[in-house]
């Protein structure tokens, strides 16, 4: 399945940043330099986390399961009556029983679900995954996401509607910020996920060549005359 976003690219950047910081810290302590070598492929392997370890331990290649989980059942997104998706994660026995009791009590036609022998154990739920997920899909679609959200809270069930970036908590964490760009105007972008207790300032992405002279002068140590000559030749 095509990834929803470029994890290799993003992960490569994060891995390189982390490796660079680790190398700088090591140099402060030992005086020795290090070469940071990060591959996007390596990052993707590490991001497999427990799924990759399950393959290495069992030799079984995991199959695509959408929003579900290979061993935690039920743990999946279901569409509510208003079209909003609701994520349910009730893989442990106590939470499963709370969920099934909620559905049996509050969804007409599903009164017998709590007593269904197929789903009383984790092994049974695993063996009958498709039947269980189909039943839950039929139940969840009978109410709106807001109705389910209230019921989940009342019944202490770990399930919630899936939010988007406009969620109030995202705003409260300053994870959507506005930036003034010299040509594009004001636009919104994601904030900094690493909070360090300092005032946050965000600069717009540079226009093409905006910092070329600055980089050549301050980092590459070229003089202004040399930079002018490169510009005259069309080298920059």
Where residue 98 sits, what CATH number does that domain have?
Answer: 3.30.1540.10
- Residue 164 CA neighbour count, 13 Å, CB half: 3
Identify whether 87 is part of a domain.
yes
How do residues 67-94 score in pLDDT, each as one tens digit?
A: 888 778 899 999 999 999 999 999 889 9
Q: Among residues of the chain, what percentage have pLDDT more than 70?
A: 100
Q: Give the C-alpha separation, 213 to 227, whole Å.
A: 7
Q: Are residues 153 and 176 in the same domain?
A: no
Q: Is residue 39 part of a domain?
A: yes
Query: Would you state the pLDDT for residue 1?
Result: 65
Distances (CA, A) of 199 to 178, 193, 196, 203, 205: 15, 13, 9, 13, 19
d(CA 11, CA 163) in angstroms, rounded, equals 23
Please state the rounded mean pLDDT for residues 166-193: 93
Do 228 and 191 lie in one domain? The reply is no
The gap from C-alpha 211 to its chain's centroid, in whole angstroms, comes to 32
Q: Mean pLDDT, to the nearest integer, of 161-175?
A: 92
Q: Are residues 214 and 182 in the same domain?
A: no
Residues 185 and 154 in one domain: no
| Structural domain containing residue 40 | 7-47
pLDDT of residue 12: 95
- Which secondary-structure segment (H or E) carries 119? none
**Over residues 172-179, mean pLDDT:** 94
Average pLDDT of the chain?
A: 93
Question: Based on the domain organization, do 79 and 153 belong to the same domain?
Answer: yes
Q: Of 68, 97, 102, which Cα lies nearest the Cα of 85?
A: 68
Q: Is position 109 within any domain? A: yes
Are 41 and 108 members of one domain? no
In this structure, is residue 70 part of a structural domain?
no
Of the candidate ranges 9-13, 67-71, 116-120, 145-149, the one whose mean pLDDT is the lowest = 67-71
Share of the chain above pLDDT 90, in %: 81
| Active-site choice (9, 154, 156, 228) | 9
* pLDDT at 169 (0 to 100): 93
Give Cβ neighbours of residue 12 (< 8 Å, ≥ 6 apart): 38, 39, 40, 43
Judge whether 64 lies within some domain.
no
| pLDDT at 35 exceeding the cut of 80 | yes
pLDDT of residue 63: 80
pLDDT over 90 (residue 65) = no
- Domain co-membership, 156 together with 111: yes
pTM comes to 0.71
Do 176 and 217 share a structural domain? no
Q: Greater confidence, 209 or 4? A: 209
Residues 79 and 157 in one domain: yes
What is the domain count for the chain? 4
149 inside domain: yes
Q: How many helices (H) and strands (E) does the chain have?
A: 10, 5
Q: Which of 7-11, 48-52, 97-101, 211-215 has the lowest mean pLDDT?
A: 48-52
Residues 29 and 17 in one domain: yes
pLDDT of residue 73: 87
The pLDDT-based confidence of 50 (bands split at 50, 70, 90) is: confident
What residues does 161 pair with on adjacent strands? 86
The answer to whether 180 is a known catalytic residue is no
Domain boundary among 161, 186, 220: 161
| pLDDT at 227 > cutoff 70 | yes
How large is the C-alpha radius of gyration of the chain?
Answer: 26
- My answer on whether 157 and 79 are in the same domain is yes
65 lies in some domain: no
Residue 93 inside a domain? The answer is: yes
Arithmetic mean of pLDDT, 175-201: 93
Asked whether 217 and 224 are in contact (CB, 8 A), the reply is yes
- Tell whether 82 and 112 lie within a shared domain: yes
Tokens 């269904």 correspond to 116
CA distances from 218 to 140, 212, 214 (A): 60, 10, 6
Write out the two tokens for 62. Answer: 């995991």
CA 86 to chain centre: 16
- Angle in degrees, CA 68, 73, 77, rounded to 5: 35
């Amino acid at each position: 399945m095509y990834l929803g976003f470029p994890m290799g690219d993003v992960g490569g950047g994060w891995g390189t940043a982390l490796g660079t910081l680790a190398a700088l810290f090591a140099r402060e302590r030992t005086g020795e330099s290090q070469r940071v070598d990060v591959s996007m492929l390596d990052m993707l392997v590490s991001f497999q986390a427990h799924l990759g370890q399950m393959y290495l331990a069992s030799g079984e290649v995991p199959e695509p399961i959408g929003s579900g989980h290979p061993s935690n059942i039920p743990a999946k997104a279901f569409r509510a009556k208003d079209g909003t998706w609701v994520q349910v994660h009730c893989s442990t026995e106590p939470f499963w029983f709370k969920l099934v009791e909620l559905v049996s009590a509050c969804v007409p036609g599903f009164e017998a679900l709590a007593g269904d022998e197929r789903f009383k154990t984790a092994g049974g739920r695993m063996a009958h995954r498709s039947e269980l997920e189909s039943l839950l899909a039929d139940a969840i679609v009978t109410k709106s996401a807001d109705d389910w959200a209230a019921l989940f809270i009342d019944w202490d069930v770990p399930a919630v509607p899936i939010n988007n970036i406009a969620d109030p908590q995202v705003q409260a964490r300053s994870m959507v910020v506005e930036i003034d760009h010299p040509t594009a105007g004001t636009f919104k972008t994601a904030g900094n996920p690493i909070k360090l207790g300092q005032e946050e300032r965000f600069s717009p992405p540079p226009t093409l060549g905006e910092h070329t002279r600055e980089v050549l002068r301050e980092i590459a140590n070229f003089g202004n005359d040399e930079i002018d000559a490169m510009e005259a030749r069309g080298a920059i």
